[in-house]
Every structure is written in C-alpha cells, then in structure tokens.
Amino acid sequence: MTDYTGIDNEVTAIADEIWDLARHVWEFAEIGFTETHSSAYAAALLEKYGFKISDRGIGGLDTSWIATWGKGKPTIGILVEYDALPGLGNDTQPTRTPAPSGNTNGHGCGHNLICSTSIGAAIALKTHLEKNKIHGTLKVFGCPAEEKMTGKNYMAQAGAFKGLDACLHNHPGPLNTVWNFHSTAMVDLIVEWNGTTAHAGVSPWLGRSAVHAAEVFLVAANMMREQMLPTARLHYQILDGGVAVNVIPDYARVLVRYRGPSAENVTQYKNWLIDMAKGAALSTQTKETVTLITGTLDVVGNDPLAKNMYGHMERYFPIDWTDDEQAFAKAIQKEMGLEEKGMADAMAGMPTSKVEVGGSSDVGDVSWSVPTMGAVYAAWPQGISPHQWGCTACHGMSIGHRATVQAAQSMAASGLDLFTQPELIEAAQEDFKKQTKGQPYKSLNELPKPPGGEMLPDERDRYECCIHGALEHFGITDAKT
C-alpha cells in the first residue's frame, strides 16, 4: 500500500506558490491566443523548480510550451491551461461587480485553477520523485486557447503528446468527479460568399446577393438535421449578413459547427456542408469560400485511470468549506435565482467511459494519442454552469485557493501511482486500445497551425470547454447569466 503522506506534504509546501500563480493568471485574464503573461508566469514557476522549457510555440500557437523533468520510462504528461473568457471580468464579490483592474475578461471557467492545480501537482510530483529516487520523465504541457478549441488539438497534430504513457488533466466545476465520458468530435467551418452589390431599389437585377446564398445554405443545413444521428449536433451563427437594407449585399459569412460521435461521422457531414456551400453559391450566382477553423476529436474515457483518480479524490474531497465560503456561494446562488445549496459537500457518482455527452473538448486529441484522465472538482457553487460572473468571483478568492490545493494533491497522488505502478499503466493502455479500437491518432485539422486569433469571431458562442460535457451528464446544462 503506497503511503501518500510524502506527496501530500510536497503540495502543502508549495500551497502559497500555487495560489500566487492562480491569482496572477486570474488577474491577467487573457483570452485564447493572447495569454502571453499567463503562459510566461506559469512556465517561469516550472523553470524555478528545475523543469526545462522547450517547444515554445508548438502547434503554431505562440503561447504553448512543453516543460520536462527526468529521463527514461515511464513518461507521464500533465496538461495546463490558462485562457480566460471575454465579458466575464468580476471582482471577488458575490454580486455582479466589475473587476477593480477594469479588465472585462474573466476566469469564468476557472482555467487559472487548471493552471495552478496542474503545475502544483507537477512540482510536488517532481520533488517527491527526486527525493525518493523514482525514475521516469514528467512532461507538462502549456495548452493555449482551450475555449476556442484550438489548443491541444493543434499541439497533438504537431506530435506534442507522442511517447507519453499516460496523461492527466483537471477542471474545476460545481461538483466532484472524474472526466470519464465519451464526448463529441467537432469541426468549425467559416463559410463566406462573395456576390455583386447593387442599389436594391434602382437596379437590383444587377446584383447577386451573398445573403441569399447564406439563406439557401442554412435551409439545406437545417434539412440535413433529419438525417443526423441522435448524438450529432449542428449550430450556426450568422457573422455577416449585409450592411444596409437598400443595398444588395455582396458579402455574407456564417460560422457553422458540426458535432458527431466519431471523426468518420464528422468528416462525412463536414463534406456534406461543403457541398451545400457550393450549391448555395451556384443557385445564387455567387462564389463560396469554406475555411476549416478547427477540428477536434471525441474524448475517449479510460476506466482504470478514472477509478484510480476517483479513489484519490475520495480521500481529499469534499472540501470542508468554511461558513464564510458557504455564505459566499449561497449569496451567488441567491443573486442568480437558484436554490441556495452552497458548495458541493459530497463526491458525485463516478461516470463510466460509455456515457455519451453532446459537448466537445480539445482534450479529445490528447485522449486519442495517449490514455488520459481528468479530475473535476468543486470550485464554484452547486447548480451553476460555467462561463458565469459568479464562477470568476469564486476562482479569485479562498474557494478557489482551497480547491486548487486539494485538487493538486489528488492529481499528484494519481501521478505518483503512474510512476510506481506499472500495472496501472498496462491496464490504462489496454483500455485505451479498446476505446480507440486500435485506430491510430489522426487529426481532424487540415492546417498545421490554426488561423490567427483575429480570424476567429469573438462571440461568446464559439467559447466552449470540456467541462460542459461533464456537467451535462449531471444535468447541469442551463447557462444562466
């Protein structure tokens, strides 16, 4: 029976530094593609503790990196995130209050805690392995722009996760469990049409409306729904639809997201949508351009890793919240018109990898590269879905502090097992073969690097995170604001 006191103490010893990191990233609150300060601050802490930083910019993402310690097998990975969301800046108050810094971005999904938890676990693990002369390699991955689905998938495409034996990640939430679901693969397409402008009253016959093309396209796309699997999803957003009612629009632009249960299914329907864009252009005498913005694979679970991580979480969670913290959480719930249940004080059930959810995550590409598992732990009030001001508030005060330290402990304990129990890695790899049916990793992205952030619409709808799928399983789906 492994004694985890040593690894626990290593996390406790750096608890202040973990929180300093979480607070800095919370204050920087940088959205995807712009996380320069957050990513540098995180990498600097790992460097201070003896990790070697390499591969800055891997996957064509300026704010990505890999930090490595040790050598030889096993090689274990830990995923770090640090991107914030627009419009969710908030003070550490249980009311909707602008952040004192004036920054309107905020960590409403708690990626500042993902950063501090993963880095806390990595440093504690490295120190413990070194002291106890346990061999192997620990690789920590700085993963940008998760909310835009353009981080780990591009890093995986660039080969970042090759050679790992297993990989761990984490995400805060309103409850305590493990990320062991099958979520959807997805693609985002930007479809543009160029037509001919004309005065809509004087000489409309000289024009060719790009908006008509968009309309034909969307009618066809909506009809396609009848021929989609029940687990598939289709969403779209009209980004450009003309500028004046008396002008025949010569430009229209639509963002379309398709999700399905597998890469094959997504590719099939993506090609159908591309045909529709061409058909819409033909029928309106316009010209279409289709750009694949991003594609991510379905997340596959791993039952042995889930069981291991859940076991450690049961030792550390639920957190013994203070009366002040419970009052803070209840005040947020009251403000949002929800039942005042406070913070979670129990473990939620352990999902199995067979559970299907409709959300997507860029963890998908990692889970197809290597056996992967994540901890989900309470860091915001029960019943609240992420991407809310109330979550931002919790992630900058003592609720976030206590959550990240305890999550780092359970994550470090799982990491220690991977270094000391070869049979756990064997079981995880056996399950991985089953989950992926022995198929090799193949990216859904066509480009070796993502189009720059400026090409991506900043509308909230494009921001999505793995946690949505996990919460959907537990019936938390309503994004109240």
Residues lying near Zn ion in the complex (CB under 5 A): 109, 465, 467
Instruction: Find the shortest distance in angstroms from Cβ 434 to Zn ion.
Output: 28
Question: Of 109 and 213, which CB lies nearer to Zn ion in the complex structure?
Answer: 109
Contacts for 280 with CB less than 8 Å, ≥ 6 apart: 193, 213, 214, 216, 217, 220, 286, 288
Instruction: Find the shortest distance in angstroms from Cβ 146 to Zn ion.
Output: 6
Longest dimension (CA), the chain: 84
Instruction: Find the shortest distance in angstroms from Cβ 108 to Zn ion.
Output: 9
> Cα(456)–Cα(458) distance, rounded to whole angstroms?
6
Question: Of 146 and 250, which CB lies nearer to Zn ion in the complex structure?
Answer: 146
Question: Of 109 and 394, which CB lies nearer to Zn ion in the complex structure?
Answer: 109
Tokens of 177: 């469990």
Instruction: Find the shortest distance in angstroms from Cβ 361 to Zn ion.
Output: 8
Instruction: Find the shortest distance in angstroms from Cβ 467 to Zn ion.
Output: 5
Question: Of 7 and 121, which CB lies nearer to Zn ion in the complex structure?
Answer: 121
Question: Of 109 and 211, which CB lies nearer to Zn ion in the complex structure?
Answer: 109
> Cα(156)–Cα(111) distance, rounded to whole angstroms?
20
Bridge pairing between strands 198-199 and 52-54: unpaired
CB-nearest residue to Zn ion: 465
Question: Of 281 and 467, which CB lies nearer to Zn ion in the complex structure?
Answer: 467
> Cα(265)–Cα(107) distance, rounded to whole angstroms?
33
Is residue 269 within a helix (H) or strand (E), and if so which, with residue range? helix 263-284
In the chain, % helix, strand, coil (3-state, to 5) comes to 40, 20, 40
> Cα(191)–Cα(96) distance, rounded to whole angstroms?
37
In order of 247, 255, 420, 425, the CA distances from 196 in angstroms are: 10, 21, 67, 60
Question: Of 122 and 379, which CB lies nearer to Zn ion in the complex structure?
Answer: 379
Q: What is the DSSP string of 40-105?
A: HHHHHHHHHTTPEEE-TTGGG-TT-EEEEEEESS-EEEEEEE--BBTT----SSSS----TT----
Instruction: Find the shortest distance in angstroms from Cβ 215 to Zn ion.
Output: 34
Instruction: Find the shortest distance in angstroms from Cβ 465 to Zn ion.
Output: 3
